């Protein structure tokens, strides 16, 4: 059997090539070790006492499952033992100080998509690592370009770790017997223009004009102005959608829409959109709100939401092009206005 590179040796090799490389490697390793533990609990589910039932409401008003709390405890414990100055978890109200003298800060969604678990659909942990600034709290409000590493795991048929480090993206799979992650795809490059999109189409009536126009063009395919017939996928689990995009391209949209609580979309900037945007860009793809590059945005509040359009460079560019020159105040007007703009440039 061929000798695969382990996560540890990959991290050691990268350490010399980046500032705080050893510390970043230790943080990634801590998250990966907790992910191995979490993957086992998720795989056992009810057999490990996980009911999948609601266990309360977190500080930002989201429903928590019992597994969200278990995942948060596991990740937090792992990060307490790593060189982390402060951690900001989806499950907490505010960032927490761990080791004030350390050089790195971590934002983390310990278990994204937990509502899918009862149905045995893939879920995952999303993380973002950035060097600490003078003031610990304000570190988290820097734009996403401040991130020095990011990634996510997928707890699915395989346990996968996607790692954006040193301006490249690599994919590892957990060898369950050895309990370690092994490199399976190196320097991943997202296909530039796969005709595939992912969006929760049940929200169509709430979408703004540019999004409706883009999706209508995709659905029209070669019967409309498009050069290709599009395929559609919607898993409803961000990590699974992101992994699919890395493997075969396409575009994912969770846009803002007209519902009062979706004016900024659904997904969170610090521990969902920022890390996904870094992964996408370092793999040759793109991530945008439709109007702005995600990595240029800084959060104004810890749990800030943001519209997220990510994936193949061409798909993201097409969505951005249809927004161009349209003032946000006209977003809600009729789709034909946008459809005339010539989507597929």
Residues that bind ligand FBP (CB under 6 A): 62, 112-115, 200, 236-238, 254, 266
* C-beta closer to ligand FBP: residue 83 or 110: 110
Q: CB of residue 120 vs ligand FBP: minimum separation in angstroms?
A: 15
Phi and psi at residue 20, to the nearest 5°: 55, 30
* C-beta closer to ligand FBP: residue 63 or 340: 63
* CB-based contacts of 180, cutoff 8 Å, min separation 6: 6, 7, 8, 36, 174
Assign residue 179 a region (left: φ > 0; alpha: ψ between -120 and 50; beta: otherwise).
left
| Cβ-closest position to ligand FBP | 238
Q: CB of residue 68 vs ligand FBP: minimum separation in angstroms?
A: 8
Q: CB of residue 30 vs ligand FBP: minimum separation in angstroms?
A: 22
CA distances 209 to 193, 293, 342, Å, are 23, 20, 14
* C-beta closer to ligand FBP: residue 80 or 201: 201
* C-beta closer to ligand FBP: residue 124 or 210: 124
Q: CB of residue 156 vs ligand FBP: minimum separation in angstroms?
A: 13
* C-beta closer to ligand FBP: residue 159 or 166: 159
Q: CB of residue 62 vs ligand FBP: minimum separation in angstroms?
A: 6
Q: CB of residue 190 vs ligand FBP: minimum separation in angstroms?
A: 18
Separation of CA 14 from chain center: 22
**Contact indicator for 88, 271 with CB cutoff of 8 Å:** yes
* C-beta closer to ligand FBP: residue 95 or 255: 255
Coil, strand or helix at 168: strand
Q: Copy the structure tokens of residue 226.
A: 């498009």
Strand 104-112 to 84-89 pairing: parallel
Q: What is the distance between the terminal CA atoms of the chain, rounded to a whole angstrom?
A: 47
**Contact indicator for 109, 125 with CB cutoff of 8 Å:** yes
Q: CB of residue 217 vs ligand FBP: minimum separation in angstroms?
A: 22
* C-beta closer to ligand FBP: residue 110 or 209: 110
Separation between Cα atoms, residue 307 and residue 294, nearest integer Å? 9
């Amino acid at each position: 059997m061929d000798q695969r590179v382990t996560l540890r040796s990959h991290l050691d090799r990268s350490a010399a090539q980046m500032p705080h490389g050893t510390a970043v490697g230790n943080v990634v390793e801590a998250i990966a070790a907790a992910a191995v533990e979490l993957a086992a609990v998720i795989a056992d589910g009810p057999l490990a006492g996980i009911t999948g039932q609601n266990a309360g409401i977190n500080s930002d008003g989201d429903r928590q499952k019992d597994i969200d709390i278990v995942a948060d405890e596991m990740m937090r414990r792992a990060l307490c033992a790593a060189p982390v100055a402060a951690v900001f978890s989806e499950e907490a109200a505010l960032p927490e100080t761990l080791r004030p003298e350390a050089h790195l800060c971590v934002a983390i969604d310990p278990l994204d998509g937990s509502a899918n678990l009862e149905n045995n659909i893939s879920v995952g942990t999303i993380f973002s690592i950035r060097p600490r600034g003078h003031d610990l709290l304000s570190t988290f409000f820097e734009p996403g370009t401040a991130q020095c590493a990011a990634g996510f795991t997928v707890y699915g048929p395989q346990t996968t770790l996607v790692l954006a480090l040193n301006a490249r993206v690599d994919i590892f799979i957990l060898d369950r017997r050895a309990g370690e992650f092994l490199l399976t795809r190196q320097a991943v490059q997202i296909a530039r223009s796969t005709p595939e999109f992912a969006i929760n189409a049940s929200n169509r009536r709430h979408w703004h004009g540019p999004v409706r126009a883009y999706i209508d063009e995709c659905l029209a395919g070669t019967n409309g102005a498009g050069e290709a017939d599009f395929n559609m996928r919607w898993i409803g689990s961000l990590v699974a959608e992101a992994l699919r995009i890395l493997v075969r391209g396409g575009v994912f949209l969770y846009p803002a829409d007209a519902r009062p609580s979706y004016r900024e979309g659904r997904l969170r900037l610090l521990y969902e959109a920022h890390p996904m945007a870094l992964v996408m860009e370092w793999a040759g793809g793109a991530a945008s709100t439709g109007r702005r590059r995600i990595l240029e945005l800084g959060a104004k509040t810890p749990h800030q939401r943001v519209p997220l359009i990510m994936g193949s460079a061409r798909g993201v560019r097409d969505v951005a092009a249809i927004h161009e020159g349209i003032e946000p105040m006209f977003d809600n007007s009729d789709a034909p206005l946008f459809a005339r703009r010539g989507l597929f440039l």
